[in-house]
């Protein structure tokens, strides 16, 4: 008897919005349509980040003082701890646990890490 944890069916919507009128010339690769990739990494909602596979994902940009929601999709517990030690620090339980912290009021770039897994590095931009 299995209790499947069915989550993440709303992840598909964000993916579809990514290909629009990109007039840039940065050479971003275009995925062929019809290729169904697993819902592994998606763009998180504003003021939120998701930890998955011991990875914080893309750098997150928030407004000064914003409340940032962290979701931990791993089974292991993680933290989001500012490298300076005091600006912000939050402990996030595994298996879909969430926590929030308040972004710094001063614009800037704030690198952070996981205290349990020091090789985990992330970056928060406040502007
Ligand atoms: Cu960790």
Name residues with Cβ closer than 5 Å to ligand 1, which is an ion: 78, 114, 116-117, 120
Q: What is the SS3 assignment for 12?
A: helix
Q: What is the pTM of this model?
A: 0.66
Q: How far is the CA of 119 from the centre of ligand 1 (A)?
A: 8
Quick one: pLDDT at residue 85?
Answer: 85
Residue 51 contacts residue 72 (beta carbons within 8 Å): yes
Q: What is the pLDDT of residues 15-62, one digit of tens each?
A: 444 444 444 455 556 656 666 666 555 555 789 999 999 999 999 999
d(CA 114, CA 116): 5
CATH of 44-127, one of 2.60.40.420, 3.40.718.10, 3.40.50.300, 2.60.40.10: 2.60.40.420
Domain ranges of the chain: 44-127
- Per residue in 71-100, pLDDT tens? 999 999 999 999 998 999 999 999 999 999
């Amino acid at each position: 008897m299995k209790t499947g944890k069915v989550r993440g069916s709303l992840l598909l919507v964000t993916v579809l919005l990514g290909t629009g009128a990109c007039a840039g010339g940065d050479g971003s690769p275009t995925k062929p349509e019809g290729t169904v990739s697993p819902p592994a990494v998606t763009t998180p909602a504003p003021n939120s980040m998701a930890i998955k596979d011991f990875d914080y994902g893309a750098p997150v940009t928030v407004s000064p003082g914003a409340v940032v929601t962290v979701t931990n999709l791993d089974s292991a517990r993680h933290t989001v701890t500012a490298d300076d030690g005091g600006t912000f620090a939050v402990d996030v339980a595994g298996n879909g646990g969430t926590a929030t912290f308040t972004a710094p009021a001063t614009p800037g770039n704030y690198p952070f890490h996981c205290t349990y897994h020091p090789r985990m590095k992330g970056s928060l931009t406040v502007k």
